[in-house]
């Protein structure tokens, strides 16, 4: 299996299957790419699907198709035009998914994740910013915190941030989150949350600084 390396400016009229894809320059690909290891340090535009093992983006990547990989790590800026499916997604930069669905086993977000549809993962842990219409998982922890990186974006994202339509998981922990409906078994509504409806089937904790409209279900306040 061959490798693909781009250090200058290059346009590929067809995709291919590679063991290693390394982009340090400016690259445009017209076609699908499959790679065991895909490393983007430069600027890449892919007009097709992306699949294989691992994507590591420290640069700027635009993928105008679907992405199906084992691991996705975004330390730069990545935009996916279709859906994303992966076992593990780690975000320290900015990841935007314009498709209707993100599916993963684990999503860890210290940066910014924007999903125009549903985010579905067994484990979702975010100390950064997440924007999505719906979030579904087994364990969902969203604790918005501010660091130097996020201060650069905080005004823009706060102006864009709307309510999550729906958050559902067995275990839910939220901080600085606005949502219409939160459904789960063990739910912690932390500081500065604004929730319209909470449906809880187990234990429920609500921080005094949080705002909650309606509470339903067979729950115990703790």
Is the confidence at residue 139, as pLDDT, over 50? yes
For residues 143 and 132, give the distance between their C-alpha atoms in angstroms, rounded to a whole number.
Answer: 15
User: How confident is the prediction for the chain on average, in pLDDT?
Assistant: 92
Q: Which two tokens stand for residue 130?
A: 């997440």
- Percentage of the residues of the chain whose pLDDT score is greater than 70: 92
97-136 residue pLDDT tens: 999 999 999 999 999 999 999 999 999 999 988 989 999 9
DSSP H or E run through 149: helix 148-151
The angle at the Cα of 214, spanning 159 to 200, to the nearest 5 degrees, equals 100
> Do the Cβ atoms of 106 and 89 come closer than 8 Å?
yes
**Mean per-residue pLDDT for 64-88?**
98
**What's the CA gap between 79 and 55, in Å, rounded?**
13
- Residue 97's pLDDT is 97
pLDDT at 163: 74
* Contact of 119 with 142, CB cutoff 8 Å: no
Q: Say whether pLDDT at 154 is over 60.
A: no
Which residues, in sequence order, are CB contacts of 125 under 8 Å at separation 6+? 106, 107, 108, 109, 139, 141
> 93 near 76, Cβ under 8 Å?
yes
> What pLDDT is recorded for position 151?
52
- Whole-angstrom Cα distance, residue 192 to residue 134? 20
Q: Give the model confidence (pLDDT) of 181-191 as tens digits.
A: 999 999 999 99
Find out whether 141 and 158 touch, Cβ atoms under 8 Å. Answer: no
- Residue pLDDT, tens place only, 14-68: 999 999 999 999 999 999 999 999 999 999 999 999 999 999 999 999 999 999 9
Does 153 have pLDDT greater than 90? no
Distances in Å between the alpha carbon of 190 and those of 37, 64, 76, 147, 193? Answer: 39, 37, 30, 19, 6
Mean of pLDDT values over 65-73: 98
Average pLDDT, integer, range 168-183: 96
pLDDT at 208: 97
With cut-offs at 50, 70 and 90, classify the pLDDT of residue 159.
very low
Token pair recorded at residue 147: 């660091």
- Maximum distance among all Cα pairs of the chain, rounded to whole angstroms: 62
Other CB atoms within 10 A of residue 35 CB: 24
Does the pLDDT value for residue 161 go beyond 70? no
Query: In the predicted model, what is the mean pLDDT of residues 92-97?
Result: 96
């Amino acid at each position: 299996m061959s490798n693909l390396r781009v250090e200058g400016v290059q346009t590929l009229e067809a995709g291919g299957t590679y063991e290693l894809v390394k982009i340090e320059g400016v690259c445009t690909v017209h076609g699908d790419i499959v790679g065991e290891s895909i490393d983007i340090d430069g600027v890449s535009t892919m007009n097709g699907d992306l699949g294989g093992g691992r994507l590591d983006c420290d640069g700027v990547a635009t993928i105008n198709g679907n992405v199906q990989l084992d691991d996705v790590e975004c330390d730069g800026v990545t935009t996916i035009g279709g859906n994303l499916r992966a076992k593990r997604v780690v975000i320290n930069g900015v990841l935007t998914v314009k498709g209707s669905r993100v599916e993963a086993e684990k999503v860890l977000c210290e940066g910014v994740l924007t999903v125009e549809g549903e985010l579905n993962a067994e484990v979702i842990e975010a100390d950064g910013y997440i924007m999505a219409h719906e979030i579904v998982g087994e364990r969902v922890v969203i604790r918005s915190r501010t660091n130097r990186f996020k201060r650069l974006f905080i005004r823009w994202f706060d102006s864009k941030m709307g309510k999550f339509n729906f958050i559902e998981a067995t275990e839910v922990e939220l901080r600085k989150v606005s949502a219409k409906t939160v459904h789960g078994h063990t739910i912690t509504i932390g500081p500065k949350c604004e929730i319209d409806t909470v449906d809880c089937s187990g234990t429920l904790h609500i921080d005094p600084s949080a705002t909650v409209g309606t509470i339903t279900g067979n729950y115990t306040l703790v």
